[in-house]
C-alpha cells in the first residue's frame, strides 16, 4: 500500500495539490480521474518521485521513508511510469525505446550492446501492445497511438510491482484498450502488481479499476470503490 499524507505540491507560482491524502491499495487498480488541469499528472509525478512535495509525505508499506536516497532508488527500480507525452527518444527505433525501460539493469559504462535476452523481453513487450511489426521503425515515424503503446511497452518490460500510467490509453483503439486492460488485470491477480492509471474517460476508468480517486482543483473529491462511483460523484468531479 502507498499512503499519501497531507501532500502539498507547488509548480511555478501555483500550489497545485493542497494537503492531499489518499491511499493506494496493493495488488489492485486505482483510477485517478478529474478534469484537465486538476493535478492528475502532478499526483503521478509525486508517486514516481519526479516531483517533490513542499510538505506532506509519501510512504510505502514495508519501505523506509522516501526521503532516503537508497529506498527511493529501490522504490523506483520497482516502479514503471507511462508518461502522458510518451517521453520517447525520437530518433531511436521503437524497440530501442522499449529497451530503455531496462536501463537500470545495465551498467552505464558497459560498451556492450543490449543483450539478446533484453532484446527478446522488449520484443515480447512490444507484442503485448500489438506493435511488434513496428519494432524497427523510428519513434518519430509512429502515430500518436503507436507512440503511446511504445511507452506502455517500455513500462511493461520492467515487470514492475508498481505501474503508473498517465492517460496511457488516450489515443489507443478501444479493442486494444480492452486487451491491454485484461493483461493488466491478469498481472494484478497473478503477480500482485499495483496499478495507478490517470484516465479522463470515466467509462474506461470504471470498467478497469477497483478504486477511484477523483480530483477537483488539487483536492480529493471522491475516494472509494469504483462500483460506488455514481452520477452524483461524476457531476461533482466533472461539472464545470
Partner 1 sequence: MYAEAVTIDAILADGHRRARRSGATAVLAAAVILAAFVYSDALDPKRYRDALPTILTLFGDAVPPDFARWRSWGKPLLDTLAMSVVGTVLGGLTAIPLGALAARGSGPAWLRHPALLLLNTLRSIPGLIWGVLFVAAVGFGPLPGIFALAFHSTGMLGKFYAEILEHMDPAPGNALRSHGVSELGVLRFSVWPQIMPRLMDVTLYRWEHNVRAATTLGMVGCGGIGQEIVVALDQFEYREASALILVLLALVTAIGMLGAGLRVRLLERISS
Ligand X SMILES: Nc1ncnc2c1ncn2[C@@H]1O[C@H](COP(=O)(O)OP(=O)(O)O)[C@@H](O)[C@H]1O
Query: Torsion over CA of 148, 151, 152 and 153, rounded to 10 degrees?
Result: 120
Binding partner 1 (rule: CB under 8 A), the pick from 3, 18, 76, 159 is 76
**Segments in the chain forming alpha helices (H):** 40-48, 69-77, 94-99, 116-128, 144-156, 174-191, 202-208, 231-238
| Residue ranges binding Mg ion (CB under 5 A) | 41, 84
Phi, psi for 119 (deg, rounded to 5): -60, -40
Subset of residues 16 to 35 that bind ligand X, contact rule: CB under 6 A: 16, 34
Least distance from ligand X to the Cβ atom of residue 134, Å: 27
Considering only residues 36 to 75 of the shown chain, the ones binding ligand X according to CB under 6 A are 36-42
Q: Which of 28, 30, 42, 81 binds partner 1 (CB under 8 A)?
A: 81
> Of 66, 63, 34, nearest to 201 (Cα)?
34
Among 42, 79, 148, 209, binds partner 1 (CB under 8 A): 79
- Cα–Cα nearest to 157, from 195, 100, 199, 107: 100
Note whether 160 binds ligand X by CB under 6 A.
no
Nearer to ligand X, 11 or 77 (CB): 11
Angle between helices 144-156 and 116-128 (to 10 degrees): 130
Query: Rounded to the nearest whole angstrom, what is the least distance from the CB of residue 99 to partner 1 in the complex?
Result: 9
In sequence order, what are the residues at sequence separation of 6 or more whose Cβ sits closer than 8 angstroms to the Cβ of residue 125?
98, 101, 153, 154, 156, 157
Q: How far is the CB of 50 from partner 1 (least distance, A)?
A: 5
Question: Interface residues with ligand X (CB under 6 A)?
Answer: 11-12, 14, 16, 34, 36-42
Question: Interface residues with partner 1 (CB under 8 A)?
Answer: 48-50, 73-77, 79-81, 83, 85-93, 96, 100-101, 103-104, 106, 108-109, 136, 138, 154, 158
Amino acid at each position: 500500500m502507498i499512503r499519501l499524507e497531507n501532500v502539498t505540491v507547488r509548480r511555478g507560482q501555483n500550489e497545485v495539490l493542497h494537503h492531499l491524502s489518499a491511499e493506494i491499495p496493493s495488488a489492485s487498480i486505482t483510477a485517478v480521474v478529474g478534469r484537465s488541469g486538476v493535478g492528475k499528472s502532478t499526483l503521478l509525478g509525486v508517486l514516481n518521485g519526479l516531483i517533490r512535495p513542499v510538505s506532506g509525505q509519501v510512504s510505502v508499506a514495508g519501505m523506509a521513508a522516501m526521503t532516503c536516497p537508497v529506498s527511493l532508488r529501490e522504490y523506483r527500480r520497482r516502479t514503471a511510469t507511462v508518461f502522458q507525452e510518451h517521453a520517447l527518444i525520437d530518433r531511436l527505433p521503437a524497440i530501442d525505446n522499449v529497451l530503455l525501460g531496462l536501463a537500470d539493469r545495465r551498467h552505464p559504462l558497459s560498451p556492450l550492446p543490449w543483450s539478446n535476452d533484453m532484446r527478446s523481453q522488449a520484443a515480447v513487450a512490444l507484442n503485448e501492445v500489438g506493435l511488434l511489426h513496428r519494432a524497427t521503425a523510428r519513434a518519430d515515424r509512429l502515430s500518436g497511438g503507436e507512440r503511446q503503446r511504445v511507452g506502455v511497452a517500455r513500462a511493461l518490460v520492467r515487470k514492475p510491482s508498481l505501474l503508473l500510467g498517465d492517460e496511457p490509453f488516450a489515443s489507443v483503439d478501444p479493442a486494444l484498450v480492452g486487451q491491454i486492460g485484461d493483461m493488466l488485470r491478469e498481472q494484478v491477480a497473478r503477480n500482485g502488481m499495483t496499478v495507478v492509471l490517470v484516465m479522463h474517460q470515466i467509462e474506461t476508468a470504471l470498467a478497469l479499476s477497483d478504486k477511484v480517486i477523483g480530483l477537483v482543483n488539487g483536492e480529493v473529491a471522491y475516494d472509494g470503490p469504483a462500483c460506488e462511483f455514481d452520477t452524483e460523484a461524476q457531476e461533482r468531479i466533472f461539472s464545470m
